[in-house]
Homo-oligomer: A and B are copies of this chain.
Amino acid sequence: METLTDEILTQTIRVRPQESHKGTYGRVCLIGGNDHFGGAILMATEASVYSGAGLNTTLTDPSNFVSLHSRMPEAMVADFTHQDELTELVSAANTVVVGPGLGTTPQSLSVLQAVFGTVTPKQTLIVDGSAITLLSEKNVKLPQAKLVFTPHQMEWQRLSGIKIADQTDEANEVVRQQLGGIVVLKSHQTKIYTPAGGFLNKAGTPAQATGGMGDTLAGMIGGFTAQFANQTNAVLAAVYAHSAIADELAENQYVVLPTQIIHQLPRYMHEHQS
């Protein structure tokens, strides 16, 4: 297991070329937020926008449109139950994030199936939160795509069948290979299993132990994978930056809120580009 350092940032976050436009920096589609957990998709969206993704569209329950725009006019919105729109918007994205606050109702499952039925191998698909739970419990077929899973340990137990106490690197890697793609296994020291090997994230602070941190990370991975060509590095850099920014804030804060991390992204990424 290789320990991540801020080298992953400079390897990944590139000085932007002068001749570029918003299309150059990718199109992210974020799907989640039912009528109870709307805040989750708001934070994921904000994280993607502040990461620098070129265009961001949020597919969510319509009850979340106003709060999303109140916080973040930079994002576009659509109703995640409108299958035609979902198909069109998901198809147009480079990166798709599904799961934050999606819930586990039949409606949630229906949305997830619509997303899985639309993405293609060229697209990066981040499977987070409720989407992992649904995947574990329901008969949902994973699509061919550049997959990134972001479970915490209990979600990983459900998805992999490996109990938390038995989640060794070897066991985890076996299931990762079965699933394909990258697994970000979140704990107080997050591990990232990738085709290029395993990575350990020693950054991070217990000040981060509050609701919404995972949603924020999912959105950041969305924003990073949309912009940076090397998808593995993009995931690693997002994981590291998320924790490292929290470490900075925790020098002066007892608790670090997800939205506070988000607001530091433009400055932090500026300082670590190359």
Contacts and interface: CB of A to CB of B under 8 A. Distances in A.
A187 B18 CA distance: 11
B39 A76 contact: yes
Nearest to A73: B39
Nearest to A206: B16
A209 B24 contact: yes
Nearest to A187: B21
A31 interface: no
A77 interface: yes
A142 interface: no
A6 to B, nearest CB: 14
Interface string A17-61: 111111011000000000111111011001001111111100000
Interface stretch (A91-99, A119-127, A172-180, A249-257): A249-257
A188 B67 contact: no
Contacts of A268: 254
A22 B254 contact: no
A62 B267 CA distance: 36
Contacts of A78: 36
Nearest to A16: B206
Interface string A215-251: 0000000000000000000000000000000000010
A87 to B, nearest CB: 15
Nearest to A42: B73
A8 interface: no
Contact of A257 (B13, B50, B66, B270): B50
What is the count of identical protomers in the complex? 4
A75 interface: yes
Contacts of A20: 188, 206, 209
Contact of A67 (B55, B66, B152, B187): B66
Nearest to A57: B36
A35 B265 CA distance: 29
Given A36-B78, A69-B38, A75-B39, A209 B16 contact: yes
A74 interface: yes
B21 A152 contact: yes
A199 interface: no
Closest 7 CB pairs of A and B: A39-B73, A52-B255, A254-B269, A16-B206, A67-B69, A253-B266, A70-B70
12 contacts: A18-B206, A37-B76, A38-B69, A38-B77, A42-B69, A52-B207, A54-B209, A65-B67, A67-B67, A71-B73, A73-B258, A74-B258
